[in-house]
Structure 1
Amino acid sequence: ALEAETEAERIAAERQAALAALHEAKTEATRWVAEQRANLLGIREKLAKDRQDLLKIREGFVASREGALALDRRVRELAVARAKGLSNEDEADRLYEELVQVLSSFREELDESLGQIGEDGGDDYDIDGPAVTPTGIDTDTLDDLRRELRAEQNALREEREALRWERAEVLRDAVVGLNHSRLQLMGLLSRRHRRALQGLGPAGIGQAARELEQIRLEAQFHILSVPRFFEKRMTDAGSSAVPIVSFLIKLMVLVLVFRWVRSRSVQWIRKARIHWSAQRPDQWTTRRIVDLFWYLERVHVPLEWLLFLWALRETGGFKGIAEFDYAWIVALWILAGTLVVRFLHATAGRRIQVSTEQSELRYRSLRLVGMTVVAVGLFLDLAERTVGKGALYEWVLTLFWVLAIPLVLLLVSWWKTRIFERARQRKGQPFFAWVVRNSQGWMGFLAATAGGIYLAVQSTYHFIFRYASQIAFTRRTVAYLLRRQAEKSAASVHPMGALVPLSDDLREELCGPVAPAERAEVVPREELRGVVERLRDTKGTLTAIVGESGLGKSTFLEQVVETTDREALLLRSEEGTCDALLADLATSVDLEADAPIEDILATLVDRGIEVVAIDDAHRLVKPFIGGLAEADRLFELVRKSGDRISWVMTFAKSTWNYLSRARADRLLFDQVVALRPWTDGEIRTLVMNRCKKVGIDPSFEEFQMGHQAPEDPVEEEKRRRRDFFRILWDYTDGNPTHALHFWSLSLGTHPPSDQVYVQLFQTPSTLAVEKLAPTVFFVLRAILQLDRALESDIVRCTDLPPSDVAEALRVVCARDYVDQEKGRVSISTHWYRAVEDVLRRRHLIMA
């Protein structure tokens, strides 16, 4: 400022000298030149004074900024004092009123400053002088002075515009900072004052009006900033064209890619969905990928626009610029809302098949709700970013809930007819009977609203439950809870024994062995393909098929033999000795039973047999000292065969766990396939096909689940059927053999009627197993691991005295924990889960 004053004084002195020269001029020509020079120096003096005025304006708003910072400091100090208990609410109330007055004055100044931006402002002085210059007079010095003045006037004009922007930015920052301090101070106000500011009284209305004014000023500031941003880009391009050319190239590439993708996206998505649908329809991952492409086919338009705008924001240099951030927020809310509406419409349409008219009504309803939520959410988001969560924010939140009432009434008027149609289908239930009775008159709206809310909540519950049930952990948890609920209901409503069990012959037909044709439908195709491809591409491989007893190892092995294009031989280890297995192998190629190993291998090769499949190979493994001798002899045979023959063997899961630990350093399988448990859907298909085969149509009317939401008879039957099979699947751990056994125990009749009913099966009590002597646990573990165990093998496995083993076998046989066949014992199907659970809890077997 001091330099400006000195410069102005210098210019004034120079003008006085020019005026003195004018009076001393001796010729008219000299007088004319002196007069013109004096006029031009007068203009320079005025420009200097204008520059001084600009400096005073700058000093003024800089001082205002200091005042705003001082007020902000006072708010922070008051907050610290309140935290320490050194101030009260009255001080906060007084400071708030002072802050509001200062903030209002700043808003007025900002409004004035924004109004001046772009205006000419100031005086444009006549620098050109007279239109006609006398001839013969040297005006070079005057022309030079005029050029300097024009440059100074243009510079002053630019300085004035820059100062206006600087003032607007300082005032805008001060307004934002003071508003932040106001919001911080709101939490320190007295409850009465705070409620008044957020209410609908005069104080609340005044505060809301001030916040609206600030939103208007913020919007005006950013709208005016957009041309300035592009002007700066063009100015930068004037010094170097590289940035603007780079931006244009990026924009052109983005637009071309966007148009190219949009024109082909539907075709790509549809082809991808068809490809994955045909690829592996039985895999969970594949189904989820198919679902993903199905949804993409319906929501790709807003998603593509979102990705395009995001890429433009990231690559175009717009990120972090407030004006474009606001534009991005608006686009994000609108496009995201559109995407969600389309997603919900597609989800509902996929699960529930309805008429075209109802589908259009559903989409119109979702769009109405979506537009309302987007409008309110967008306004709240912008309001929070500009004025924070103040009175206006609370007003809009309140207004949203008020608007929800007419919105619900409008939706009910659209859906009223269909709500009553659904209610009439369920009028056997008391609630829907009330809805139907009150379907006319003014009560019709109330009844339709209540019925619509009930149906919407019920549909949402079923939707969430259905999707959550696809997660294994959730399925098991739900199945466990359902079983507990069904057990309580069965004990109190339908005690076990109310039904007469089926005849033994019918039960035997129902729970007989699962036929290969029944298992073939659920053979894991990917794993089967992997085994067959390895047998085709690589010779001399060793493959293990691992699974629980009854899960389908034998069927899988048979499928391998039938599917492979190699000549294959299938054997079964019945006796559990390598000698017996070698004898079967020799006789299968027309050799003597005691033929040497070398002859057997040579004959296999001569006959072109490239694959030998051995079922129940786990019977060669005995979990005691020296118990791997038979298995080692088999593996020695495998090694001797070299790369001429590939071997595929099946192992029980418990035996495989023992074998992999005992031979971890020497046992090298090229491929291990662990068979998965059957799903509840596969179990249900197996059971119902078996019922169809024996000629019964079971009713689930007797299967009670306690207190459940009432449904129409058809839906109730479906729910009971779904819940029962989920319980059956969970208890049997997806084992089809065990599932058929307990299914047969669930059926009974009410004589003389032949109708077969389903009730919850009674599971064996683990408490009875828990009370057994410790020696019995070791015997049970040995039986479980040995599979068709001999008593002598159990003695060696447990290292117990033969008398203790004999006594333990007597106990478990008397209680039907085991089945006996030809001097061998195995855990019975009925007690398998109970025994396994107890042994696992006692850490006697691996999970």
Structure 2
Amino acid sequence: MLAGPPVQDQATTEPGQTPAGDPKVDEPGAKPSLAEQLSRRARNVEALIAGTLDPAVDLDTLFTIDLVSPAFAAGDGGELLALLRELSAARTRADRPVEEEQGKAGKAGKAGKGGKTGKGDEVDEAPPFEPAPAPEDADPLTKARAELTRAYWHFLILPAPRRVELEQAHQKRATAARERSEAEAAARARLQRLRTQARELGELIDGTLDPDIDPTPLLRLDLADVDELVGDERRLRAALGLGAAGPEAETGDQPKGPESGGDEQTPTSDTEERDAEPGPWVPDEALAADLKVATAALDGQRLRLLALSPAQRKQLLTDHAARKTAAKQAQEDAAADLLAAEAQLNQAAQSQISEAEDAAAKAAQARQKALQAAAQARTEAIRRLAEEQARLLGVQESHALLRASLTRRKQEVRDAAEVALGWEREVGRVAAELPSAERQAEADALYEQVRDALGDARGRLRDTLDAVGHSAVEPVGEPLTGLPEDIDQSEIMALRSELEASAAELRTLESEVVWSAAKSGRDDIVRLNRARLSLLEVGSAELRHRITGFGKDGVEQVRREFDQIGLELRFRVKSLPGLGQTLMDELEASPVQAFFAFLQLGFLLLVFRYWRRRAEALLSKARDGFRTRKQGNARVNAAFAGGLWYLGRIRKPLEWLLLFAAIYSLVFGGGEDVLEIEVLWLTSLWVLVGSTVILLVDAIAARDNLVYGGAAGTAELRIRSLRLVGLTVVFTGLILSLTEQTVGRGAIHHWVGTLMWFAAAPILLVLIHWWRGHAFARIRDSEDIPDNVVTRWIRSHTAGVSSFPAAALSGAYLFGRGVARWLLHRATALETTRRVLAWMFRREVARQASALQNDDEASPITGRVYQLFDPNRSLEDPQDIGPVMAAVASETIAQIAALKVNQRGTISAIIGERGSGKSTVLQRLAADLERRGSALDEAGADEEQDEDGGGEGHHVEYGKLTVRRLQCPPGGFELLLAQLA
């Protein structure tokens, strides 16, 4: 018998664990590739050989090969044929006659006795050749097929009894795992049942048990059940309060080891331990504790029930039965009341319709009689009187028919609302289900029906809005004139008065019914559209792609949504008179509240007007105050000053935004119920916030250019670019918000969100066209731009078709450098960064000092020389520096002094490292300027003046020079300017 080859690619999972990549641990909905499936099957086969295969894996599926599938028998089936050939060769060798093997063994024995062993006389032959793995450069599918072939070979080369043994061991583990899972599920179900029984039994004793619950199962105790109270001795004694009994209670449930004096257990091999059948399932500590608490609670409630007298226990059941009967009767009464109210409402509507139709029929009969009387009249006056009566009776018939029509319309509105509510309930039921393929299919099927119902609702609302403002009440007409006074017209006058009152009543009723139908129809549209969007969300991806895409269905859906938006706008326009009337009614009903609202509005406008007039001066004063403030932290003061500068740049749109927000929240109370106010607020919010952001970005860029230096002449171009991008974003966001407010996130919302990215391309091209000249100039002329491959390519492609890609690349390059510079400036402004840089500097200085100590050529300087170069040494008298030092930079000092005298508003900077003599030069310059001013005072102003009106110590415009020495304050350039001022 041949031994199995060493498994080289065995899975590394522990027993009971799933190998990596097993389908049962994949994410829901994930579909692995063919190569992944084959690799997973190979790992499972190796895990079966190692005895660590997940019990959930089916062996029939693992070893079944489809001969027409490309999974394993691909192409000419080379892998499968090679595997079969190797297995045949291996089994041929394994099945040789025993006598031949014994003969070989005898020959080997003789050779051993003779002291010689031939090369061809070995007892054991090498196992057949193992299938080679795939090359390293092979594709994943080829590697996976080779891996699976090797795994099958590793298993099938084993002897048949060993294969059967592995399969039986796996089946045992699978059965044990299934039994453990079922036992755990049963234990958790029992825990839930115990808790429910304890709670319901306590509620029964307290008289609060739900009337729909039958208490009979709660009062039954199975004495033969080992898990019940009588079957467990410890549970029974604990419930009775008798305490634990026996020695086991004192020591607890200790695991029993081997009996003393018995044989010690020998350690088992890995194979025996792997193939050993796992023990029965034991609940963990948390579940066992929960079961113990639940059983104690149920036993306590049972003992509590047994503590009652038989009459009390019987009374509990009687009271519960009475509550159940009362609850059932209440439900029946409520349902009967609802049905009766609905029937009464329908009956009243039918009665009104019947009465109106009867009145119309009577009016028609009376009209026919009046016409007959007119035809039989002998005089013209009587004939005209009869004809007028017939006409008025016709108007009465029309009024009666209109009254019946309005009553039917109210009933139709209620029926339409019931249909919308029914669809909303049905969609809510589907949406509440767990995600599954069945739910998606049901949602897809319901979507078409809900969409059709929504279309019918739109049609009804359109007809209703068409009827708003167009009365169908037939006018009474002008009275009859020109008849003789002796003809009696009292009956006609009475009928006319009745019809005029009826017409006025019908106009009012018609307006109420039509507008109520419009509001109900609009609510039905909103309700059905919300249900449609819910179905679209829980439906399949194919449905969402078809409805929100750019195909035929998507275009049709966009048309429907635009139709709904048009209906919404028409409804809002039609409701404006009613909104004004509602405000007037509220004003008349509560004038004090309206007065306070107008008072708040007036106060807001006054505060706004006061701030707008004085904002610039107040902000400038506050900014200067923080700049010159000596108290507190200088950095905090500088931060406040910078924040006020930013506020001054963005304050105008921010002021209007705060005003609208205050009016929206205080005066209109948020406007949640008024769509018109909500739309106005959304529009104002997007426009003003967008303007604020544009100005803020422009202010940040302008301040960085001012403080750190930047390209000049780009302010106008920058604000124009920011406005283009900002207006595009604001317009897109406003459309998305408005469409979401009216029709939800449907096809229009998806179209706008998708087309927005297509609109970014022309905007980018416009920006490149605007900035290309500036970008090329910066790349070409700026000294801080490094000379690398990118910049050289940009400089060589500033014209022609390739100039646009070059301009885009240069803009991105400059933008990246700007962002990096901005981040670097912000980082170096932090105290932590400065401390880190100082530590690194000190560390480098210490390293160089340590290196110099080991330098034999270096020699320490004398104390006198060191004092001359001491950076902390102050110069008491600038003239007492000696002729050598006085000759240094004397021409430069004279040039600076002449520049200060002859130029206006100049700033000269002296740059040098610490200890290079900057303070000495400044002291010499100040002494030189003071000397010139003193010489002018001694000689007299008249003598020092020349033809141009200036002098050596006299400024050409401001007169005598004034020299001030200032120590640069911490906080930066702004605080220095404030101190200079």
Specify the TM-score bucket, using the shorter chain as the normaliser: 0.5 to 0.7
Correspondence for 2:460 among 106, 109, 120: 109
Deviations 1:734-793 (A, max 9, x none): 9xxxxxxxxxxxxxxxxxxxxxxxxxxxxxxxxxxxxxxxxxxxxxxxxxxxxxxxxxxx
User: Helix, strand or coil for the counterpart of 2:438?
Assistant: coil
Q: Within 5 Å, which residues of 2 pair with 1:54-453? A: 54-83=406-435, 85=436, 87-118=438-469, 120-132=470-482, 134-135=484-485, 143=493, 145-237=495-587, 250-280=600-630, 283-317=634-668, 319-320=671-672, 321-353=674-706, 357-424=713-780, 425=782, 426-453=785-812
Relative to structure 1, is the Cα distance of residues 152 and 469 closer, same or farther in structure 2, using a 3 angstrom cutoff?
A: farther
Equivalents in 2 of 1:127, 1:303: separation in Å? Answer: 60
Equivalents in 2 of 1:485, 1:397: separation in Å? Answer: 52
Deviations 1:661-707 (A, max 9, x none): xxxxxxxxxxxxxxxxxxxxxxxx999555556999xxxxxxxxxxx
Q: Measure how far apart 1:332 and its partner are.
A: 0.9
Counterpart of 2:401?
49
Equivalents in 2 of 1:245, 1:140: separation in Å? Answer: 52
Counterpart of 1:456?
815
Q: Measure how far apart 1:68 and its partner are.
A: 2.0
CA contact (8 A) 2:871 2:914 kept: no
Equivalents in 2 of 1:236, 1:142: separation in Å? Answer: 43
Relative to structure 1, is the Cα distance of residues 509 and 324 closer, same or farther in structure 2, using a 3 angstrom cutoff?
A: farther
Q: Measure how far apart 1:71 and its partner are.
A: 2.0
CA contact (8 A) 2:447 2:532 kept: yes
CA contact (8 A) 1:21 1:34 kept: no
Deviations 1:259-291 (A, max 9, x none): 343233223222322233333485333223222
> Which stretch of the first structure deviates more once superposed, 143-152 or 357-366?
143-152
Q: Within 5 Å, which residues of 2 pair with 1:292-691? A: 292-317=643-668, 319-320=671-672, 321-353=674-706, 357-424=713-780, 425=782, 426-464=785-823, 466-467=825-826, 475-476=831-832, 497=851, 689-690=914-915
Q: Measure how far apart 1:326 and its partner are.
A: 0.6
CA contact (8 A) 1:226 1:323 kept: no
Q: Measure how far apart 1:449 and its partner are.
A: 0.6
Between structures 1 and 2, the one with greater strand share: 1
Q: Measure how far apart 1:341 and its partner are.
A: 0.7
User: Helix, strand or coil for the counterpart of 1:408?
Assistant: helix
User: Helix, strand or coil for the counterpart of 1:187?
Assistant: helix
Relative to structure 1, is the Cα distance of residues 266 and 21 closer, same or farther in structure 2, using a 3 angstrom cutoff?
A: same
Relative to structure 1, is the Cα distance of residues 17 and 68 closer, same or farther in structure 2, using a 3 angstrom cutoff?
A: closer
Equivalents in 2 of 1:512, 1:255: separation in Å? Answer: 66
Rg comparison, structure with higher value:
2
CA contact (8 A) 2:473 2:507 kept: no
Counterpart of 2:350?
2
Q: Letter of the 2:700 partner, please give it.
A: T
Deviations 1:141-179 (A, max 9, x none): 755654443333233223323323222222222222222
CA contact (8 A) 1:128 1:146 kept: no
> Which stretch of the first structure deviates more once superposed, 308-317 or 339-348?
308-317
Q: Measure how far apart 1:366 and its partner are.
A: 0.5
Q: Letter of the 1:2 partner, please give it.
A: Q
User: Helix, strand or coil for the counterpart of 1:101?
Assistant: helix
Q: Structure 1: which 5+ runs fail to align?
A: 518-684, 697-733, 735-847
Relative to structure 1, is the Cα distance of residues 69 and 17 closer, same or farther in structure 2, using a 3 angstrom cutoff?
A: closer
Q: Letter of the 2:792 partner, please give it.
A: A
Equivalents in 2 of 1:261, 1:76: separation in Å? Answer: 52
Deviations 1:699-746 (A, max 9, x none): xxxxxxxxxxxxxxxxxxxxxxxxxxxxxxxxxxx9xxxxxxxxxxxx
Relative to structure 1, is the Cα distance of residues 432 and 65 closer, same or farther in structure 2, using a 3 angstrom cutoff?
A: same
Equivalents in 2 of 1:498, 1:429: separation in Å? Answer: 37
Equivalents in 2 of 1:508, 1:131: separation in Å? Answer: 131
Q: Letter of the 1:232 partner, please give it.
A: T
Q: Measure how far apart 1:446 and its partner are.
A: 0.8
Deviations 1:405-436 (A, max 9, x none): 11111111111112122223314233322322
Relative to structure 1, is the Cα distance of residues 236 and 328 closer, same or farther in structure 2, using a 3 angstrom cutoff?
A: same
CA contact (8 A) 1:65 1:174 kept: yes
Relative to structure 1, is the Cα distance of residues 140 and 103 closer, same or farther in structure 2, using a 3 angstrom cutoff?
A: same
CA contact (8 A) 2:360 2:397 kept: yes
Equivalents in 1 of 2:686, 2:868: separation in Å? Answer: 58
Relative to structure 1, is the Cα distance of residues 15 and 415 closer, same or farther in structure 2, using a 3 angstrom cutoff?
A: closer
Equivalents in 2 of 1:386, 1:485: separation in Å? Answer: 63
Q: Which has the higher contact order (CA 8 A, sep 6+)?
A: 1
User: Helix, strand or coil for the counterpart of 2:485?
Assistant: coil
Equivalenced residues, count: 523
Equivalents in 1 of 2:596, 2:424: separation in Å? Answer: 43
Equivalents in 2 of 1:378, 1:233: separation in Å? Answer: 28
Deviations 1:231-276 (A, max 9, x none): 3323555677666666555555544443343233223222322233
Relative to structure 1, is the Cα distance of residues 695 and 476 closer, same or farther in structure 2, using a 3 angstrom cutoff?
A: same
Relative to structure 1, is the Cα distance of residues 188 and 21 closer, same or farther in structure 2, using a 3 angstrom cutoff?
A: closer
Deviations 1:497-544 (A, max 9, x none): 499899677998799898999xxxxxxxxxxxxxxxxxxxxxxxxxxx
Equivalents in 1 of 2:562, 2:859: separation in Å? Answer: 78
Deviations 1:361-391 (A, max 9, x none): 1110101110011011111111222222222
Equivalents in 2 of 1:408, 1:36: separation in Å? Answer: 78
Relative to structure 1, is the Cα distance of residues 106 and 376 closer, same or farther in structure 2, using a 3 angstrom cutoff?
A: same
Relative to structure 1, is the Cα distance of residues 149 and 400 closer, same or farther in structure 2, using a 3 angstrom cutoff?
A: same
User: Helix, strand or coil for the counterpart of 1:453?
Assistant: helix
CA contact (8 A) 2:554 2:747 kept: yes
Relative to structure 1, is the Cα distance of residues 231 and 502 closer, same or farther in structure 2, using a 3 angstrom cutoff?
A: farther
Relative to structure 1, is the Cα distance of residues 216 and 36 closer, same or farther in structure 2, using a 3 angstrom cutoff?
A: closer
Counterpart of 2:169?
none
Equivalents in 2 of 1:414, 1:498: separation in Å? Answer: 57
Relative to structure 1, is the Cα distance of residues 511 and 172 closer, same or farther in structure 2, using a 3 angstrom cutoff?
A: farther
User: Helix, strand or coil for the counterpart of 1:87?
Assistant: helix
Q: Letter of the 1:449 partner, please give it.
A: A
CA contact (8 A) 1:423 1:433 kept: no
Q: Structure 2: which 5+ runs fail to align?
A: 1-348, 876-909, 922-969, 971-981
User: Helix, strand or coil for the counterpart of 1:129?
Assistant: coil
Relative to structure 1, is the Cα distance of residues 476 and 9 closer, same or farther in structure 2, using a 3 angstrom cutoff?
A: same
